[in-house]
Amino acid sequence: MFVSIVRVALGVPLRRLFDYRAPLDETLTPEDIGRRVRVGFGTRSLIGVIVALADASEIPDEQLKPVETVLRDLPPLPADWFRLTEFCASYYQTPLGEVMLSTLPAAMRRVDPPKARAARRAPGQPAAQDAPALTGEQRQVLERVAADTADKPGFHAYLLHGVTGSGKTEIYLRLVEQTLTAGKSALLLVPEINLTPQLEARVTARFPDTGLVSLHSDLTDATRTRNWKAALEGRARIVLGTRLAVFTPMPELGLIVVDEEHDASFKQQDGMRYSARDVAVFRARQRDIPIVLGSATPSLESWANATDPDTPARYALLELRARAVTGARLPAVRRIDIRTEKLRDGFSGVLLQAIAQCLERGEQSLIFLNRRGYAPVLACAQCGWVSRCHRCAANLVLHLADGRLRCHHCGFECRVPRACPTCGNQDIQPFGRGTQRLEAVLTERFPQARILRVDRDSAKSRKQWESLLERIHSGDADILVGTQMLAKGHDFPRLTLVGALGADAALFAADWRAPERLFSQLMQVAGRAGRADLPGEVLIQTQFPEHPLYAALVRHDYPAFAAAQLAERRHAGFPPYAYQAMLRAEAPQMADAIAFLATARAWPPAVEHASVTLYDPVPMRLARRANLERAQLLVESPSRRALQAFLSAWNGRLASIKAPSRLRWHLEVDPLEF
Ligand code: ADP
Ligand code: ZN
Ligand code: ZN
């Protein structure tokens, strides 16, 4: 074939590829597919990826621009990376070029990349840490995996359900070891940057001589690029990263692990709204390799896949029921009925007493409230003024620590007024409680205690977070007050008491996923308490002590909770028993947003879509954010295939709907939030 045309994917919001003339002085061959090129686009230059070569184009010759440069600094992106990005483009209804370019490190997409500095020489590595003898349960799990893969090598999807502290990480490490021994590499995904240092330390301690790189958004561009290159070139045998790392090209990939698979952070919330967990499963299937999804509280989707014979994507269930360390037991969970107990500043007498005793014993306690700030709203009792965000349909949250009112949705902030802005009343009052207020209450009650608040305000940067963790570990804190940040995967050795406040709100929330999140958060936060020599206790303040969610929690019975929730979902026709997509529109006027959605709804394509339901357009729960009115339209089908076919046809036509220029819309597949 005489190559005269180069077909290029560009990171622009158009569902097409772009043809360029091949450079005259360079011979391109099919091996160059997957290389990056620099091309002119309008008045700019852009970096794109060569997707195909051709000998002719439909574009008239005189309109074709030549490729400016073929970049040969890297090996071409491999074929399986193409298949993965193509799958995502089609599944998530996103232009291929956008998918491809968005998965590359920023420097790889830049026309003038920063000069790469000389690489990561690792200092003298310590000797490999010995692996502990496996517990009986761990051995069974590994034997099961070994038997499966001996029987039939290739793709196997496992859901590893193990209670907190059951030694799931040890399972990952053993599987990684086997993968490395077989000459392959492993990809480990964690939901949050905050969890990478901990796992990185454990993996490095076990495999000190193996190229391990991490990939997450907190790295400098240069480091990220270097690490990504090491993966692409096959030098990094272990890649540890957050959701975007699922796209890392790895030529010898032999195992994928997704830790804390239930965590909503695996879902990307803008651009291509993908679930890294789901993409990981797809990637494993495509590469024909095993994947392990691990959690103490799996997502109900995964649990259904592992336990419900009616779901199509079957996972094999692996279970660890006991804590790994001999003698360590799960903490006792108790409900405190706050209908009968008088609360003092939000605390029951039982909880205050337990904190006092914990202090006396020199142990740590943790008070969990999933709401940051001092109080969710400031109000005037005289005239009814409340602190509203003027840009959003939401209240401004009182942050007393720095004397600000803040909107948690758009970031607007201002000074706390001294008096009511409408009537001048000087006695304006905070309503409700956030972590700052609990901190203040506890400081007053326990003046001798060292109290540490851990939330997104006190741990803004990675550095701050690490120094907080350091203080917790060194025993430099008696009482921790925190949000779900504290619930995730950390070991706090001296922690023996957990108190949970304000949990009930999630029981009756409009969001039908709220109970799932609540159960998982409480189970995870409870999992922080107790060791072999220091048994733990969890106290939950509630007005609904008989609620089945709490009853299951007391028994540490995730399977019972999950079964009950799945039964409800099946009955209501909710995921995982239905597949959903959401079309959202935002505009300065609600009427425009609704009108756009109504047009979209009235314009179904000519494909067979009998099993697809389009609901009415409705304002979103947060109906205005940053001065934009927001509305959404739910699309649902009991068949994933039918939904996909419908979306492909529909999405192509949405772009041609006439709408005001300031209207923005996007389509989200498998939405988590409503
Ligand atoms: P999980 O990831 O399930 O919460 P971890 O893997 O962090 O649990 O293990 C919890 C604790 O048990 C850790 O301190 C770990 O070192 C220890 N542990 C895990 N497996 C074993 C084992 N086989 N023998 C002794 N200790 C173990
Ligand atoms: Zn007033
Ligand atoms: Zn706002």
pLDDT digits (tens, 9 = 90+) for 162-190: 998 899 999 999 999 999 999 999 999 99
Residues with CB under 5 A from ligand 3 (ion): 389, 391-392, 407, 409-410, 412
Residue ranges of alpha helices (H) inside 245-324 are 276-287, 300-307
Is the CB of residue 464 less than 8 Å from the CB of residue 435?
Answer: no
- Cα(427) to ligand 2 centroid in Å equals 9
Report the C-alpha gap between 172 and 151 in whole angstroms.
20
Report the C-alpha gap between 43 and 45 in whole angstroms.
7
Query: Quick check: 116 pLDDT over 60?
Result: no
Report the C-alpha gap between 485 and 455 in whole angstroms.
6
Residue tagged 């997957």 (tokens)? 34
Q: Quote the pLDDT of residue 489.
A: 66
* Predicted confidence (pLDDT) per residue in 550-607, tens digit: 999 999 999 999 999 999 999 999 999 999 999 999 999 999 999 999 999 987 765 5
Query: Quick check: 38 pLDDT over 80?
Result: yes
Taking the CA of 294 as reference, the closest ligand is 1
Backbone conformation region of residue 572, classed left if phi is above 0, alpha if psi is from -120 to 50, else beta? alpha
Candidates 202, 162, 160, 257; CA nearest to 527 is 162
Return the residue whose CA atom lies nearest to atom 24 of ligand 1: 132
Angle at 326 between CA 320 and CA 328, to 5 degrees: 75
All domains of the chain, ordered by start, with CATH?
5-109 (3.40.1440.60), 136-320 (3.40.50.300), 332-372+434-568 (3.40.50.300), 579-669 (3.30.70)
Report the C-alpha gap between 487 and 345 in whole angstroms.
23
Q: Quote the pLDDT of residue 121.
A: 45
Q: What is the mean pLDDT of the chain?
A: 92
Q: What single-letter DSSP state applies at residue 386?
A: B
List all residues 6 or more positions away from 6 whose beta carbon is below 8 Å from its beta carbon: 19, 20, 21, 22, 28, 37, 50, 53, 54, 67
Candidates 537, 539, 550; CA nearest to 332 is 537
List all residues 6 or more positions away from 412 whose beta carbon is below 8 Å from its beta carbon: 389, 390, 391, 392, 396, 406
Q: Quote the pLDDT of residue 113.
A: 67
Candidates 264, 354, 274, 271; CA nearest to 536 is 354
- Cα(407) to ligand 3 centroid in Å equals 5
Q: What single-letter DSSP state applies at residue 457?
A: T
Is the CB of residue 665 less than 8 Å from the CB of residue 585?
Answer: yes
Query: Quick check: 213 pLDDT over 80?
Result: yes
Q: Which two tokens stand for residue 387?
A: 């602190």
Q: Which two tokens stand for residue 550?
A: 């709490």
Report the C-alpha gap between 372 and 439 in whole angstroms.
11
* Predicted confidence (pLDDT) per residue in 271-320, tens digit: 899 999 999 999 999 999 999 999 999 999 999 999 987 776 689 999 99
For residue 19, give the amino acid letter: D
**406 vs 197: which has the higher pLDDT:** 406
Using a pLDDT cut of 70, give the percent of the chain over it. Answer: 97
Candidate ranges 111-125, 211-225, 274-288; pick with highest mean pLDDT: 274-288
Q: Quote the pLDDT of residue 486.
A: 84
Backbone φ and ψ for 252, nearest 5 degrees, come out as -105, 25
**533 vs 42: which has the higher pLDDT:** 42
Q: pTM here?
A: 0.94
Q: Closest ligand 1 atom, CA of 164?
A: 4
- Cα(170) to ligand 1 centroid in Å equals 6
Query: Quick check: 328 pLDDT over 90?
Result: no
- Cα(378) to ligand 2 centroid in Å equals 11
Q: Quote the pLDDT of residue 407.
A: 97
Q: Of 123-127, 414-418, 494-498, 581-585, give the lowest mean pLDDT range.
A: 123-127
Q: Quote the pLDDT of residue 225.
A: 92
**What is the maximum span of the chain, computed from C-alpha positions, in angstroms?**
85
Report the C-alpha gap between 615 and 604 in whole angstroms.
12
* Predicted confidence (pLDDT) per residue in 486-517, tens digit: 887 677 888 999 999 999 999 988 889 999 99
Report the C-alpha gap between 12 and 14 in whole angstroms.
6
Report the C-alpha gap between 239 and 180 in whole angstroms.
12
Backbone φ and ψ for 241, nearest 5 degrees, come out as -165, 175
- Ligand 1, pocket-test mutation among 135, 138, 325, 490, most atoms within 8 A of CB: 325
Return the residue whose CA atom lies nearest to atom 10 of ligand 1: 165
Residue tagged 């020489």 (tokens)? 121
Return the residue whose CA atom lies nearest to atom 23 of ligand 1: 134
Q: Quote the pLDDT of residue 325.
A: 87
- Ligand 1, pocket-test mutation among 137, 168, 169, 520, most atoms within 8 A of CB: 169
What is the length of the chain? 674
Is the CB of residue 213 less than 8 Å from the CB of residue 245?
Answer: no
Residue tagged 């070029």 (tokens)? 97
